[in-house]
Amino acid sequence: MANGLEACINRMRDAQMSDTAVAQFQRMYEAWEADETGWIHESDVTPMTDIVSVADFHDTMPTRTARAALAKTAILKLNGGLGTSMGLDGPKSLLPVRRHKARQMRFIDIILGQVVSMRAQHKVQLPLILMNSFRTSKDSLSAVRHNRKFHQDDIPLEIIQHREPKITGHNGMPVSFPKDTDLEWCPPGHGDVYSTLWESGILDVLQEHGIEYLFISNSDNLGARPSSIIAGYFAQSRSDFMVEVSRKTPADRKGGHFVVDNATGRLILREMSQVHPDDKAAAMDVHVHPYFNTNNIWVRISALKKVMKKYNGILPLPVIRNNKTVDPTDSSTQRVVQLETAMGAAIGLFDSAQCIEVTRSRFLPVKTTEDLFILRSDRFHLTDSFEMEDGNYIFPDISLDQRYYKNIHDFNERFPYGVPSLAAAASVTVEGDWTFGRDTACFGDAHLEDTNRPSYVPNGEYIGSNGIEPDTWQ
């Protein structure tokens, strides 16, 4: 497929992509072309079962140590996503999550609130950097600049992630989509964060301002708040790279997890796409592999620069083949391949790396409207320090009919007064087209069956295992 690679590179050159972007794409393309994905067999790794937990030192970490570490920490949020799987056409971080003191709060508002409150509480600079994409930059920066309490002048607020051509699987040529040429491009996965940081020069800027540590997380994970306690531990540890992991529940069985490579003795990230079919059962067994990757990462800037220099700004991370359609919102459009890398996979490149166990409160991602359904419910309270607070962070199983609730606009239309109460719900299953009235509540294993027509849950009704429950309490 030499002609395909050449055509892709020419397209990137025509779009004035940098040498780093081109070289990174070429490495991924050649790995994909050679089918170097490979399996990580269960027999070749050792499960990670005994690791340090934040609970081990949470109450004994000296306040001075924690604050000093936070004073040398910067926050990097991966903010390049559009949320196309939910039918969004703008930055996912501008999606409203819930209200706080009557004000509608979006992901970006809550992130800024977390940073501002931590700055005030600990009296630290705590710079915030957004890794935007070419499609999220303008709107995201506009939202930040409209926040009256957030100010940052000396350190750039954003870096722009690279982009690459989407390719056709059978011949490796760059896809053509005249209807919307922006859709001919895609990001190279969140593993691109390292080459973007390297090329931007912002690592040097951070060091000039006394910043030694970088905390990286996804903008759609509102649990990934700045933590002085974890910063303090990382500063005291001998680790250069640390990933937060959490204990699996059955819902996390298919998530990526870290294992020890028997050949090298190093920690490596194993995604489910790298698990051989014969090993699937063991890989998803929560007793064999009890932890999953939250994608919250701590890294020493000096160590990162050393590793980046070793590899000339392009880390040799495993390549992930992501099969999609050229228009992610239209399954009838041409099928394409997006080549990606995962940022957690960099753990294997550092001489001193570790995982640390955190509670479920630090992993609250929103990938679907079902996730949003929980975050918008009464299970959560948004505190004045902008923490998404719940009693135990063990949530009901949610299953919403994808025909009517997958798209955010359809979802909002069917919950005009907000989502039902989930305080007493063990699970919620909605089949068919239901619109919910005001002050509805789910309890037990709530279940609404498909009536084969648009249906309505009246104001104040309770939904249980038999659907809308009759009012027999009066």
State residue 382's pLDDT score.
95
State residue 453's pLDDT score.
97
State residue 471's pLDDT score.
66
Which stretches in the chain have pLDDT values below 50? 473-474
- Kindly report the backbone phi and psi dihedral angles of residue 239, in degrees, each rounded to the nearest multiple of 5, phi listed first: -85, 145
Task: Report d(CA 400, CA 411) in Å as an integer.
Answer: 10
State residue 474's pLDDT score.
43
State residue 470's pLDDT score.
82
* 234: nearest Cα among 384, 350, 361, 115: 350
Task: Report d(CA 351, CA 44) in Å as an integer.
Answer: 20
* 214: nearest Cα among 205, 206, 225, 222: 206
Domains and CATH numbers, the chain: 2-362 (3.90.550.10), 369-468 (2.160.10.10)
